[in-house]
Structure 1
C-alpha cells in the first residue's frame, strides 16, 4: 500500500513549483516605480532632457564621468495618441513610398555589411571565439538543467548503480527548485567579480569551477552530495552566462568602431 505522501507530491508538486517560480515576477512589481525609463525610448519621444537626467543618474551610480556635450536627438517620431514607439518604428519621418523603399533597402544592406564585417580578416578570430563561448555556455547551462532532472529520477546511465533511490516525484521537484535557486547567487557572483577580475578571467574561472562541480557526478553520489554539486555547477554557469553578455558587445564594439 502506497503512503499518502508518496502519491500527493507527484500530483501537487508541479503546482507548488509553479507557485514558487512565479513569486519573483510578482516581486518585480514592487520595484516597478524604481526602474528608470530607457534613454533611447525617451529620445524617440523627443524627451532629451529626461533622457539626460537618467544618463546623469547612471553616471553617478557607477561613479564615472559622463561624456561632455549635449544630448541631441535628431531622430524623432510623431506619435499618435494611441500609438507607442518600438524598435521597429521609423526614427526618421519618410515623405513618400520611394523613400520608404530606400530606407528598407539601406536597413537590409546595413545588416549584410555588418555580417561581412564580423567575418572580415580582422574580426574573424574574435567572432569565432565569441560563437564558441556562447555555444559552450548555452550547452553547459541547459545540460546542467537536464542533468538535474535525469539524476533526480535515478536513471543516469553514467553510473553503475542508481544514484538516487528515493521517491521520484518529491526528489525531482525539490532538486529542480534548489538548483534553480542557484541563479540568484550566480548573478551576485558575476556582478561582484566581473569588474574586479575582468571579463575573460571571470568567465573562464566560473566555467572551470563549474566543470569541477560536475566531474564527481561521473560516479554515483549520495542525494545530498548530488544536490550540492548541481547547485554549485548552476551557480557558476549562470554567472558565466551573464558575463558573456557583457563581454561580447564590448569586444564587438571595440573592433567595429
Structure 2
C-alpha cells in the first residue's frame, strides 16, 4: 500500500517533461514569392492603369508601322520610285527592328524592362520627327530604319503587363491589347486621309509622333517589374512595388517575408538553346516568322490592291505612268496612283477586322489552349489567302481583307501571350526579343511579295502566303509546352 501514492507523481512528472520539451520549438517564419503576392493582391485599379498606359504602346507602334502603307503612294510619286524601291523602305524598317529587338531584349533582362522601354520611345520619337525633314529618298530610308530600331523596344510594355497580371487574367487582358493596335491603325489612316491631301505627308509624320511623346510622360506612373527586381536581388524595391499595388487595389499582401533566389545568370542566348527549351524556341521562331510574313503581307497587299487596282487583274483608269530620266533606256515606269477617299474607307473597314475575332480568340485561348487556338487561326488564314484569288466585286474583296486582318491579328495575339508565358523571368525579355527579331525576317520579305511579286502574279504571291501559314499551323500544333493556366516561372 505504501507504493501506490507514487504513481500519480510519476505521471505528473512525465507530463511536465512533455510540456517542457515542447517549449523550445520555434515556429518557422512565413515567406512568400512574387508569384504568391501577385495572385493574392489580385486584379484592381493598378492593373487598369497598367493596361491603359502599357497598352498604348501598341497605338504608337501601329502608327509608326502603318504609316509606311499610307505614305508609300505619295513618296512613289514625289521621288518617282520603282516597286522595289517602295518595298525597300518597309524592309529596312524591319531590318532595324530585327537587329535592335535582340539587343533590347538582352539589355532588358539585364538592366530592366522599364528603362529599355523608355529609351526605345525616346529613340523612336526623335528619329520619327527627323524623318519628316528627309530631303531625299536615301535619307528617308535611313531615318525610317532608325525608327524601326526604336519601335523594337516597345514589346517590353507587353512583358511588364504580363509580369504584373495574375494568371487567370492573362488570357483575357492580353488579347484585349489588340484594341490599342487597332486604335493606332485607324488613327493613322484617318489622319492620312485628312493631312496628306491638304498639308502633305511630312506633317502627317510630325502629327503621328505626338502620341509617343505624350506616352513617355505617362511611363512614370508604372514601376519596374517586381519579378525583374527580385531576380537581380533588389528585394526591397520589389516589395515596395507590390505594397504600392496592394494599396492601389485596396487589397492585402501575403503574410511573411518576400523571398526569391538571386539569379546571376540572366539574358543568356545559351539558355534559349538549352535542351529544355531548344525545340520550343525553334518552333516559336518558325511561327513568329510566318505570322509576321502573313500580317504585313496582308497590310501591304491590301494597300497595293487599292493603289494599283489589281482586283481581278485589272488596272486603274486613273493610273499615271511617270518616267524618270531623259533617255529612253533610262526610263522606267513608276505608277502614281494617290489614294482616293473610298480607298481610305476600304482600309479602315479592313483594319476594323483586327478586333472582329477578339471575343472568339479570347475564348479559344482560355478554353482550347494557346497551341490549338493558334493552329486553328493559322489554318484559317491560309484558307482566306487562297480565297483572295477569286475574282470578286469590291465588296467581296473588302470582306476577304476584313477576315484576313481579323485572323492575322488573332495569330499575333496568341503568339505574343504564349512567348511571354513559356519562358522564365531570367530569359523572358530575350526570348521575346529574339522571337520579335526573327519574325522581322518575314516582315522584310513581305514587301517584295506584296509590292513586287503581286504585280507580276497575284496567284503566285497569295499561294506563297497561304503555304507559309500552313507550315506555321503545323508548327504551332506540335509545340511541346502548353502554357494555359501555367504560373510564370522565375527560373528554368
Which of the five TM-score ranges fits, normalised by the shorter chain?
0.5 to 0.7
Q: Give the match's secondary structure for 2:339.
A: helix
The answer to whether the 8 Å contact 1:186/1:235 transfers is yes
Q: Which residue of 2 aligns with 1:152?
A: 306
Question: 3-state SS of the aligned residue for 2:258?
Answer: coil
Query: Distance between the aligned counterparts of 2:250 and 2:361, measured in 1?
Result: 22
Query: Relative to 1, partners in 2 of residues 1:20 and 1:213: Cα closer, same or farther, differing over 3 Å?
Result: farther
- Encode CA deviations 1:84-112: one digit per residue, 9 max, x unaligned: xxxxxxx99xxxxxxxxxxxxx76xx624
Cα distance, 1:246–1:125 mapped onto 2, change above 3 Å: same
How far the C-alpha of 1:251 sits from its partner, in A, is 3.5
Per-residue deviation, residues 177-217 of structure 1 (Å, max 9, x unmatched): 23333333455543343112210111112122223333221
Distance 1:144 1:28, change over 3 A: same
Equivalent in 255, 267, 271 of residue 114 of structure 1: 271
Query: Secondary structure in 2 aligned to 1:178?
Result: helix
Name the SS for the 2:400 alignment partner: helix
TM-score (norm 1): 0.58
Q: Which residue of 1 aligns with 2:197?
A: 11
Q: Which residue, 289, 293, 297 being the options, matches 1:143?
A: 297
Relative to structure 1, is the Cα distance of residues 185 and 69 closer, same or farther in structure 2, using a 3 angstrom cutoff?
A: farther
C-alpha contact 1:39 1:54 (8 A) present in aligned 2: no
Tell me if the contact between 1:149 and 1:176 (Cα under 8 Å) persists in the aligned partners. yes
Counterparts of 2:195 and 2:288 in 1: how far apart (Å)?
37
Unaligned runs of 5+ in 2: 1-193, 320-336, 425-480, 483-490
Find the counterpart in structure 1 of residue 413 from structure 2: 242
Worse-superposed segment, 243-252 or 35-44: 35-44
Q: How does 1:58-207 map to 2 (within 5 A)?
A: 70-72=257-259, 111-117=268-274, 120=275, 122-156=276-310, 159-162=312-315, 169-170=339-340, 171-207=342-378
Q: Which residue of 1 aligns with 2:81?
A: none
The structure whose Rg is larger is: 2
Instruction: Check the 8 A contact 1:179/1:234 in 2, yes or no.
Output: yes
Contact kept? 1:186, 1:239, Cα under 8 Å: yes
Question: Following TM superposition, by how much is the alpha carbon of 1:222 offset from its aligned partner in structure 2, in angstroms?
Answer: 1.4
Helix, strand or coil for the counterpart of 1:169? coil
Q: Deviations over 1:224-250 (max 9, x none)?
A: 211121111111111111111111243
Q: Report the counterpart of residue 242 of structure 2 in structure 1.
A: 52
User: Does structure 1 residue 214 correspond to structure 2 residue 371?
Assistant: no
In 1, Cα distance between the equivalents of 2:203 and 2:347?
Answer: 12
The 8 Å contact of residues 203 and 243 in structure 1, kept in 2 or not, is answered as yes
Question: For the Cα contact (< 8 Å) 2:226–2:239, is it kept in 1?
Answer: no
CA contact (8 A) 1:9 1:169 kept: no
Contact 1:163 1:222 in 2 (8 A): no
- What SS does structure 1 have at the residue aligned with 2:388? helix
Matched-pair contact (CA < 8 Å) for 1:153–1:168: yes
* Unmatched runs of 5 consecutive residues or more in structure 1: 1-7, 76-90, 93-105
**Structure 1 residues 200 and 51: CA distance shift in structure 2, 3 A:** same
In the other structure, the counterpart of 1:103 is none
- Match in the other structure for 2:401: 230
TM-score (norm 2): 0.34
DSSP 3-state at the match of 2:257: coil
CA distance in 1, matches of 2:396, 2:214: 31
Q: Distance in 1 between matches of 2:315 and 2:305?
A: 9
